[in-house]
Amino acid sequence: MKKTSIIRLAALVIAVLTAIALFAGCTKKVTDAERIIGRWETEFDASKAAQEALETEGETYKDVTFSDLMIKLQIEFREDGTYSSAIDQDSAKAAIDKLGEQMVPMIRQIFTAQIAEALEVDPETLTDDDVLPYLAMFGITSYEDFAKMLTDEMKPEEIVEDANMSGKYMLKDGKLYMSTAADEEATEESDANAYEFTEDGKLKLDAAEGVDVPEGMEDLLPLTFTKLVEE
């Protein structure tokens, strides 16, 4: 290759690199305020919260354990500084149904103990065939039916309505401040979470330093939200 060709090639490479550098320098940096706009969704396990709630009902329920009661939560942040959050009703219903299924062993144990006490026998000696005829007198044909009676009282639409919120938000110094009313401005006195955007584009909310976490929320944090693509 001729010397002049090498010089021209070097000049071309320098020109390309310079153009790339200039382009990178001119690329607009996306701010957190812009990045947060849109709808985000997370899924959390409400098992421990349900278990703790049941334990408050007495010693009878202290050995009950729940698992995989997954509920979806969506939050939409808008350009005008307002937000709204909503629990997905279908996921709430599915979690309630699963909770009922997982309560069946506990229900069997409780009814067996009660019938055994009434008959003055050892509960270990009773089978389902011994117990269920007594329950049938009260219209209970199976433990599963009784569990469904209990969960039917847990209206998912009411749970969703109680959990839905709207208000205004503000990002400042790594904290997301959220008011709890549509006509209330978000300030540094509002509820706050520490926030960060992960490398894969997700939004992570955690307890902010110096902010008291509501009872039962400690094990749910941090919550990681995925941005939903609008169709």
Q: What is the pLDDT of residues 33-78, one digit of tens each?
A: 999 999 999 998 988 888 877 777 666 666 778 899 999 999 999 9
In the chain, the percentage of residues whose pLDDT exceeds 70 is: 79
pLDDT value at position 1? 47
In the chain, the percentage of residues whose pLDDT exceeds 90 is: 41
pLDDT value at position 155? 78
pTM, whole model, 2 decimals?
0.75
Helix (H) or strand (E) holding 77, with range, is: strand 70-77
pLDDT value at position 7? 56
pLDDT value at position 160? 72
Q: Is the pLDDT of residue 147 over 80?
A: yes
pLDDT value at position 85? 92
Gyration radius of the chain over CA positions:
28
Q: Is the pLDDT of residue 159 over 80?
A: no
Alpha helices in 38-195, H assignment, sequence order: 47-55, 89-119, 128-136, 143-152, 156-163
Minimal CA–CA distance to 146: which of 91, 105, 94, 93?
105
Q: Where are the domains of the chain?
A: 30-44+70-87+167-231, 89-163
In this prediction, residue 158 has a pLDDT band, given cuts at 50, 70 and 90, of confident
pLDDT value at position 172? 93
pLDDT value at position 58? 65
What's the CATH fold of domain 30-44+70-87+167-231? Lipocalin (2.40.128)
pLDDT value at position 52? 78
Residue with tokens 């209990």: 150
CA distance 217 to 231: 32
| pLDDT digits 0-9 by tens, 78-130 | 999 999 999 898 998 999 899 899 989 988 988 998 899 999 999 999 999 99
CA distance 114 to 151: 22
Burial state string for 126-141 with b = 16 or more CB within 10 A and e = fewer than 16: beeeebbeebeeeebe
Helix (H) or strand (E) holding 168, with range, is: strand 165-172
Q: Is the pLDDT of residue 2 over 60?
A: no
The set of residues, in sequence order, having a beta carbon less than 8 Å from that of 178 and lying 6+ positions away, is 83, 167, 168, 169, 186, 190, 191, 192, 193
Q: Is the pLDDT of residue 149 over 80?
A: yes
Average pLDDT, the chain: 83
With contact defined as beta carbons under 8 Å apart, do 38 and 227 qualify? yes
